[in-house]
Amino acid sequence: MGKIKSLQDLEALRSTIKEKRRITKPCVAICAGAGCLALGGREVIDATVEELEKQNLQGKVDIKTTGCPGFCEQGPLVIISPQDVIYTHVKVEDVPEIISKTVINGEIVDRLLYTDPATGEKPVCESDVPFYKKQKRLLLGNNSKIDPNNIEDYIALGGYSALAKAFAWSPEQIIEEIKKSGLRGRGGGGFPTGQKWESCRNAPGEPKYVIANCDEGDPGAFMNRALMEGNPHSVLEGLLICAYAIGSHEGYIYVRNEYPVAVENATIAIKQAEQLGFLGENILGSGFDFTIRINRGGGAFVCGESTALMASLEGRVGEPRAKYIHTVEKGLWDKPSNLNNVETLANVPLIINNGADWFSAIGTEGSKGTKIFSLVGKVNNTGLVEVPMGMTLREVIYGIGGGIRDGKKFKGVQTGGPSGGVIPESMLDMPVDFDELTKAGSMMGSGGMIVMDEDTCMVDTAKYFLTFLEEESCGKCVPCREGIKRMRQILTDITEGKGEEKDIALLERIGEALKDSSLCALGTTATNPVLSTIRYFRNEYEAHIKEKRCPAGVCKALIQYYIIDEKCVGCRLCEKACPTEAITFMGKRKPVVLEQNKCIKCGICKDVCKLEAVGVK
């Protein structure tokens, strides 16, 4: 396949590819995203290849390894077309049956279907699974249909047609369209994208740089990973259109070091794009040149911040600098630079193809389009969820997430990562919207949504975030480096029963100073987790401080594990697992005895007990 030199060439290629695929062979699509791999996905893929060989089906049945379709907790996921049957928790032993029964005979293997915990129903097709039904998967929908290492899959689904369309417009027209769409940055800042592009285009100086931010430092968030691993071309296309609109010929994709699969898939995607002429010189005969280089992060959350990111692209430490002069004017190498999150860029081809009006019809007044959230924590259906802006938190957590797991009670949902806050039950009917979330003392952030239940301690949560930020602070400015440390010390004392009455006021005072005087957003937003948990869960703080009690049963110094005598049958599982020999067997069918002075509160006894005979108070 030679280089594509025009719009017509592209359409011709697309037709050729589609023609090749007209006779649809059965296809087994197995998710190879990092999540499914963690549950044994690689073995399932290998077993499938082996089984197809064994049954002499190579060539007659396609096997496709796809990116993350989002339903991670149910992995390894296998989707069989053309029936669109979805199987969950697939193991190596299940593979022969899947091939023989479903692929060849069209029969369903009942035990591998997803079971809705609320209704007991077992939907067969991907599109019927309630987790997916209520989503609007404009960005993630193609993940289960695309092999990220095969550019033809992307082209067959209409890929790079937005780029071709964009070349027929002027850069100014493209910027106008993006402005009109109302697209706002998906990385956390929520800044109007069109406006950013315009400022960069108008800034004096050459060369101009465009950067795709795939650092995704918020712990608990993996939206960018799914996009970059599963549909890298959607990001490349968005970055290309961005570059053309701004007048940049050099692009970077900055991928977090902890995402090796994303780095690999992006590298392959760029190579394949170069081979076909979507990158390089005179792209699609437009006269526009553009090259992309991939840089990996070095393991620093602060490098998600634009100036720190650019510093690390210059081979320096990830130290932010003041943004009184914006990076769109002086960024990488002091030249005009445009930085956008990967999800923001993936929206661009959709807007160009379907129009700004189509995009702005989705969502709310202030927040247009869809947003991908990572719905994780104590919820039944954990995974990636893409919904139109404006859906309520309740609909996301209960309607799509299936509510709280293990029958526990909802306590709060943490959004916005370490810069965000916790939203309590009373506010669950809040629409997911940039401004609404900020008003509530949290923020949208990059889209992390961590659901917490009655067993989550809010003081421990605040301590967790501060510990995280203390480790990730670059250390340049006094308020952040010293202030976060002091707040963390105070919170640790509170969780250990050493809290004092004046602690809350002191936390608030340090917090105010951090908000006003920190150098970058890591510092200015560091207090959000603390302030929001104090705001909505003050009683928990007071229990820790005044009563030296942890209501959720989490803070080690304030809890005790104990044996529930009526439930214990003396099976000795806990005794064998206890690392400090704190549990003594007292004879068959007699409850074991736990010696408190030997107990280090590791919680293993509670983990291994199958009869719920270990309690926490």
Partner 1 sequence: MDKRVAAIIDKYNADEGQLISILQDIQSELYYLPKETLIQVSDAMGIPLSRVYSVATFFKAFSLKPRGKHLIDVCLGTACHVRGAPKVLEQIERSLKISRGETTSDFKFTLETVNCMGCCALGPVVRLDGKYFGQMSAGKVDSILNKYE
Partner 2 sequence: MITINIDGQELKAKDGQTILEVARESGIYIPTLCYHENLAPYGACRLCIVEISKNGRSRMVASCLYPAEEGIEVKTNSPRVIDNRKMIMELLLARCSQNEVIKKLASEMGVEQSSFKSEYLENNDCILCGLCVRACEEVVGVSAISLVNRGVNREVASPFFEPSASCIGCGSCSYVCPTGAIKMEDKEDTRVIQGSKWKTEFKLKKCKVCGNYWAPEAQLEYIRKKLNLPPDFFDVCPNCR
Which residues contact partner 2 by CB under 8 A?
A: 300, 317, 321-322, 324-325, 470-479, 481-483, 485-486, 489, 493, 506, 509-510, 512-513, 516-519
Instruction: Give the whole-angstrom CA distance, residue 79 versus residue 125.
Output: 9
Give whichever of 551 and 603 is closer to partner 1, judged by the CB atom: 603
| Contact stretch for partner 1 (CB under 8 A) within 131-139, 289-297, 429-437, 534-542 | 289-297
Examine residue 585 and tell whether it contacts partner 1 (CB under 8 A): no
β-pairing, 448-453 with 370-377?
parallel
Q: Which is nearer to partner 1, 61 or 458 (CB)?
A: 458
Binding partner of residue 298 among partner 2, partner 1, none, CB under 5 to 8 Å per kind? partner 1
Q: Judged by CB under 8 A, does residue 604 bind partner 1?
A: yes
- Residue 60 contact, options partner 1, partner 2, none, Cβ 5-8 Å cut-off depending on partner type: none
**CA angle at 349 for the pair 347 and 351, rounded to the nearest 5°:** 70
Distance CA 195, CA 436 (A): 22
Strand pairing report for 561-563 and 614-616: antiparallel
Question: Least distance to partner 2 from the beta carbon of 309, Å?
Answer: 15
Q: Please identify which residue in 19, 93, 110, 314 interacts with partner 1, judged by CB under 8 A.
A: 314
Binding-site residue total for partner 1 (CB under 8 A)? 62
Which entry of partner 2, partner 1, none binds 37, CB below 5 to 8 A by partner kind?
partner 1
The one among 46, 281, 365, 471 contacting partner 1 by CB under 8 A: 471
Q: Does 414 bind partner 1 (CB under 8 A)?
A: yes
The least distance separating partner 1 from the CB of residue 416, rounded to whole angstroms, comes to 11
Decide if residue 608 touches partner 1 (CB under 8 A): yes
Backbone angles phi, psi at 291, to 5 degrees: -125, 150
Least distance in Å: CB of 453 to partner 1? 9
* Residue 257 within binding range of partner 1, rule CB under 8 A: yes
- Work out whether 221 is an interface residue with partner 1 (CB under 8 A): yes
Nearest CB to partner 1, comparing residues 141 and 377:
377
Could you tell which of partner 2, partner 1, none binds residue 106, using a CB distance below 5 to 8 A set by kind? none
Going from the C-alpha of 366 to that of each of 182, 328, 391, 433, 604, the distances in angstroms are 8, 23, 13, 7, 48
CB of 466 to partner 2, least distance (A): 12
The whole-angstrom separation of Cα 82 and Cα 288 is: 40
CB of 527 to partner 1, least distance (A): 17
Does 603 bind partner 1 (CB under 8 A)? Our answer is yes
Whether residue 214 contacts residue 228, with contact meaning beta carbons closer than 8 Å, is answered with: yes
Which of partner 1, partner 2, none sits in contact with 315, Cβ below 5 to 8 A by type? partner 1
Q: 174-178, long-range: CB within 8 Å, 24+ apart, which pairs? A: 174/241, 174/244, 174/245, 174/352, 175/201, 175/245, 177/351, 177/352, 177/355, 177/356, 178/245, 178/348, 178/351, 178/356
How is residue 306 annotated by DSSP?
H
Specify the residue, 36 or 243, whose C-beta has the smaller distance to partner 1: 36
- Quote the CA–CA distance of 131 and 381 in Å, as a whole number: 7
Q: Tell me how far apart the alpha carbons of residues 354 and 339 are, in angstroms, rounded to a whole number.
A: 24
Angle between helices 171-181 and 232-246 (to 10 degrees): 120
Q: Which partner from the list partner 1, partner 2, none does 470 bind, CB cut-off 5 to 8 Å by kind?
A: partner 2
Q: Pick one of 26, 188, 251, 417: the residue that binds partner 1 (CB under 8 A).
A: 417
Smallest separation (angstroms) from partner 2 to the CB of 489: 5
Rg of the Cα trace of the chain?
A: 26
Closest approach, Cβ 487 to partner 1, in A, equals 18
Secondary element (H or E) of residue 576? helix 573-577
Contacts of 43 (CB under 8 A, 6+ apart): 92
CB of residue 172 to partner 1, shortest distance in Å: 31
Task: Pick the piece of the chain touching partner 1 (CB under 8 A) from 155-163, 299-307, 351-359, 478-486.
Answer: 299-307
Token couple for 217: 């430092």
Residues 104-163 touching partner 1, rule: CB under 8 A, are none
Q: Which of 491, 471, 504 is nearest to 557 (CA)?
A: 491
Q: Which does 331 bind (CB under 5 to 8 A by kind): partner 1, partner 2, none?
A: none
Q: Does 72 bind partner 1 (CB under 8 A)?
A: yes
Integer Cα distance of 34 and 227 in angstroms: 12
Residue 493 touches which of partner 2, partner 1, none (CB < 5 to 8 A by kind)? partner 2
Q: In this structure, how many other beta carbons lie within 10 angstroms of the beta carbon of residue 495?
A: 20
* Secondary structure of 519-559 in HEC code, one letter for each residue: CCHHHHCCCHHHHHHHHHHHHHHHHHHHCCCCCCCCCHHHC
312 binds, among partner 2, partner 1, none (CB under 5 to 8 A by kind): partner 1
CA distance linking residue 240 with residue 210, whole number of Å: 9
- Region 383-412 residues binding partner 1, contact defined as CB under 8 A: 383
Cα separation, 589 vs 611, whole angstroms: 13
Q: State the binding partner of 512 from partner 2, partner 1, none, CB within 5 to 8 A by kind.
A: partner 2
Q: How many CA atoms lie within 13 A of 323 on its CB side?
A: 17
Among partner 1, partner 2, none, what does residue 376 contact (CB within 5–8 Å per kind)? Answer: partner 1
From the list partner 2, partner 1, none, pick the one residue 326 interacts with, judged by a Cβ distance below 5 to 8 Å according to partner type: none
Say how far apart CA 466 and CA 486 lie, in whole Å.
Answer: 10
218 binds partner 1 (CB under 8 A): yes
Tell me which residues in 348-387 interact with partner 1 (CB under 8 A): 374, 376-378, 382-383
Our CB check for partner 1 shows the closer of 73 and 343 to be 73
Residue 566 in the binding site for partner 1 (CB under 8 A): no
DSSP character for 368?
B
d(CA 228, CA 434): 24
- Asked if 336 touches partner 1 (CB under 8 A), the answer is no
Look at residue 499 and give the partner it binds from partner 1, partner 2, none, a contact being a CB closer than 5 to 8 Å depending on partner kind.
none
Which member of 26, 35, 123, 251 binds partner 1 (CB under 8 A)?
A: 35
User: In sequence order, what are the residues at sequence separation of 6 or more whose Cβ sits closer than 8 angstroms to the Cβ of residue 458?
Assistant: 411, 412, 422, 452, 533, 536, 537, 540, 541, 552
Q: Is residue 220 involved in binding partner 1 (CB under 8 A)?
A: yes
Looking up tokens 């950013």 gives 196
Q: Which residues make up the interface to partner 1 (CB under 8 A)?
A: 34-35, 37-39, 72-73, 75, 216-222, 225, 256-260, 295-301, 312-318, 333, 374, 376-378, 382-383, 414, 417, 448, 450, 452, 456, 461, 464-465, 468, 471-472, 474, 577, 579, 602-604, 607-608
